[in-house]
Amino acid sequence: MREPRIERFDTRAQFQQELRTLLACARATLDLFDPDFALFQLGASETDAELRRFLHGGGVLRLAMHDSTRIERDAPRFLKLLRDYSHRIECRLTHRGLRQLTDSFAIADNLHVVRRFHSDHLRGEAAFDAPESADLPRERFGAIWEESRSDLHPTVTGL
């Protein structure tokens, strides 16, 4: 394992660069939580290509969110990715009791994490090769995941 690298960011461009770096590092698991994934660019061709590489290599992608409207409306590439790799992607919607959660984070392989402290702001931190930095977000994601229900199915019927 390499030496941990921790970077702070406070702009959209920096956040998206750190997220691209995280996606490129991912090999086995990607766990993402955001209220609506508005800033994650899930519909961008670069993101699609990186996620396809990850999923084709056997990775598993899990998304938890409060609202899937933005993805359904603005990310047709992601919806196609969901159809193509439905066996490797699961999306869940939080229940009302968790809607007060406002942070945002992405965890790759329980080793790398990019997180914004509040989803309405761009201030955050990226940590690579730093499993201890991923511990708290990983625990939070696990709790959110357990309290959420399946959403965003590859077809209208969910099959």
Query: For residue 78, what are the domain limits?
Result: 31-151
Q: Is pLDDT of 138 > 80?
A: yes
Residue 24 in any domain: the answer is no
**Is 88 contained in some domain?**
yes
Q: Is residue 110 part of a domain?
A: yes
CA pair distance 18, 57, nearest whole angstrom: 21
Confidence (pLDDT) at 159: 42
Q: Which amino acid is at 70?
A: R
Distances (CA, A) of 135 to 8, 28, 71, 94, 127: 18, 17, 27, 21, 11
Q: What is the pLDDT of residues 2-61, one digit of tens each?
A: 899 999 999 999 999 999 999 999 999 999 999 999 999 999 999 999 999 999 999 999
Asked whether residue 138 is assigned to any structural domain, the reply reads yes
The per-residue pLDDT for range 60-98, each reduced to its tens digit, is 999 999 999 999 999 999 999 999 999 999 999 999 889
> Does residue 159 lie in a domain region?
no
- Whole-model pTM: value is 0.92
144 belongs to a structural domain: yes
Tell me how many domains the chain contains: 1
Is 2 inside a domain boundary? no
Number of separate helices (H) and strands (E) present in the chain: 5, 8
Domain-embedded: residue 127: yes
